[in-house]
A and B are shown apart, each in its own frame.
Chain A
């Protein structure tokens, strides 16, 4: 029965400290431990495993440049996972962040190289348009669900596939494609549209950019939206019990469309901040699976905005640390994928964590 209690509480705002902090932390530690055990079982020496562990920490938080890389990788994950978390609150499982990132990023690129505008205005515009296109793309799924009942899991997956092909198509349009290239690659955005690097004064190679600060701001906004506004209340009500909320005068259709659009808006921002802060141009693989990793981040963050912030930073740390792990210990990056997957398994089975570490829950 415990598990039913657990799911009953899942979408409420009464998450205890245990649920949003302790379980994720122990899930992560356990996953890293099992990952290293896997290394040893598969024939690596203890020394390699220890080296890998040290590299994982050193590469993620061991120096200014490691922290910068961690936060750079975390930024788009936080944006997109926030969107997915909003969907969770309203009972929607949005698999479409990847497609929404692509649309948002694509729109951002076009704005980025097409207009000559002053620095600050151009930057605001690129982010707003990116967010808008992400929202419009997610709106399609929300609208289909609200009007026809089409399940959002199916429609968002299908829209992802359409987004991939749309991107291929757009990158071949001569006015978008980079001059002198036959392969699908867009022109580069202008300097005025770039998100400035926030640690530029320390070292120009530190990549962490203003998008991270905007992501923290977005966390606060979403927190306020979900827990302190009528709209947020409606999201949570519809997420808990659609029929009951209809009975009490909430329009589920409008709520679903709105929640989906906000989810897309945040994913679109993820795409725009990748373009404006890191990449500067679009290529067929620029979304890099962020939209899928973000689902894991939203789950690890227990669909709570603050949880998502920390989960995003943790996943960023795994990406940056994994890189160091391959460089220093010669351990394949694939181990990081294994660790991420293990984290998700433990998060999905919190009872397991409670059984394994009973003393921390007393």
Chain B
């Protein structure tokens, strides 16, 4: 019976739907191609997608999404979005840099924006969004050094690429700055900002790796870990959840993980925010208003493109003295009186 009804409705709708499917973009449409890891990664892709959804809610535009399952998907996915008549195409991730450039050069009428990639020279129909995450991670590193009881903190990354290592650089510099100011010797495991070498899972999707890497760092004495690998870090959080936040704390990246992963919010000391949602929304608005132009935009502490999340459940661990020092550092970085890499 149900099937009959289905057929009845279907055949009537057939012609209309066929047209809609093929010729789908009448309203303003923002389209996103995510990197591997999926749009529900509670981190990188999800934050960027939130920007699109915010635009949908605010301006009533249409949106389309394609999730990459592997790196071989980038090129055909971007081409599909071009063919779908998107008004702006958002490529999420450094690894898509080459594919986005090829697509943009082959389709000069389409407008692109890419997260974490700045072209040199710039491409007229791509707006690169890069983020000074080292500034925000610097603050997180400083807090961690102040909160750590073992005097050892750790980090690991997904792949050794600038958008990942930017976090790790800032984190290590922040700890170093703490040591200099306080005359302490807090150690950072997992990243050497001078040699550019450290711990990497070499993927952005295995939560098992996230757990194993955090376990290794914990075994080496680290009691605070910052995983910079999108959803991989959720594995680290599950370890911290098992051990208890007095033994291991996690620092989130990209979004505020107490919001995206509320079930384990007690393990997050803070999160290094990379507000892709804000920049994606503003790019969509600029395309809509006609003020879009290619080039590069940089999110900093000053313009609010990066920042750190509140300490939430663990705010009792952060003394008011430490918190005010962090606030002073933030102002110092903005004014330029603090040079991070020293």
Contact = CB atoms under 8 A, between A and B. Distances in A.
A46 B106 CA distance: 37
Contact of A50 (B14, B72, B106): B14
Given A46-B9, A54-B21, A284 B76 contact: no
Given A183-B159, A330-B65, A285 B22 contact: no
A324 B82 CA distance: 12
A285 B65 CA distance: 21
A46 B80 CA distance: 24
A289 B205 CA distance: 15
Contacts of A326: 64-67
A182 B196 contact: yes
Interface string B176-203: 0000000000000000000010000011
Among A55, A69, A285, A288, max chain B CB count under 10 A is at A285
Contact of A207 (B76, B84, B95, B159): B76
A184 B202 contact: yes
A320 B75 CA distance: 12
Nearest to A164: B202
A57 B69 CA distance: 21
Majority secondary structure, B binding face? helix
Among B20, B71, B106, max chain A CB count under 10 A is at B71
A40 B18 CA distance: 19
Interface residues of B, number: 40
A333 B69 contact: yes
Contacts of B83: 65
Nearest to A50: B10
A342 to B, nearest CB: 18
Interface string A168-181: 10000000000001
Contacts of A149: none
Interface string B35-51: 01000000000000000
B243 interface: no
A274 B17 contact: no
Contacts of A284: 159, 202-203
Interface residues of A, number: 40
A328 B65 CA distance: 9
Contacts of B57: none
B161 A327 contact: no
Interface string B125-166: 000000000000000000000000000000000011110010
A50 B80 contact: no
Contacts of A333: 66-67, 69
Interface string A31-59: 00000000010000011001100110011
B70 interface: yes
B13 interface: yes
Interface string A327-351: 1111011000000000000000000
Nearest to B62: A330
A327 B22 contact: no
B106 A288 contact: no
A324 B80 contact: yes
B76 A323 contact: yes
Among A55, A72, A184, A328, max chain B CB count under 10 A is at A328
A287 to B, nearest CB: 8
Contacts of B66: 323, 326-327, 333
Given A55-B21, A183-B159, A288-B69, A323 B80 contact: yes
B319 interface: no
A62 B83 CA distance: 13
Contacts of A51: 17, 20-21
B198 to A, nearest CB: 10
Nearest to A205: B106
Contacts of A283: 71, 95
A46 B6 contact: yes
B228 to A, nearest CB: 13
7 contacts: A46-B10, A50-B14, A51-B20, A207-B75, A320-B76, A329-B21, A333-B67
Interface of B: 6, 9-10, 13-14, 17-18, 20-22, 24, 31, 36, 64-67, 69-73, 75-77, 79-81, 83-84, 95, 106, 159-162, 165, 196, 202-203
Interface of A: 40, 46-47, 50-51, 54-55, 58-59, 62, 65, 69, 72, 168, 181-184, 204-205, 207, 274, 278-279, 283-286, 288-289, 320, 323-324, 326-330, 332-333
What 8 pairs between A and B have smallest CB-CB spacing? A288-B70, A182-B160, A183-B161, A288-B72, A285-B71, A183-B159, A328-B21, A285-B70
Given A51-B20, A65-B79, 19 more contacts: A47-B17, A50-B10, A50-B17, A72-B76, A182-B161, A204-B106, A205-B79, A278-B72, A283-B95, A285-B72, A286-B72, A288-B70, A288-B71, A323-B73, A328-B24, A328-B84, A329-B21, A330-B64, A332-B67
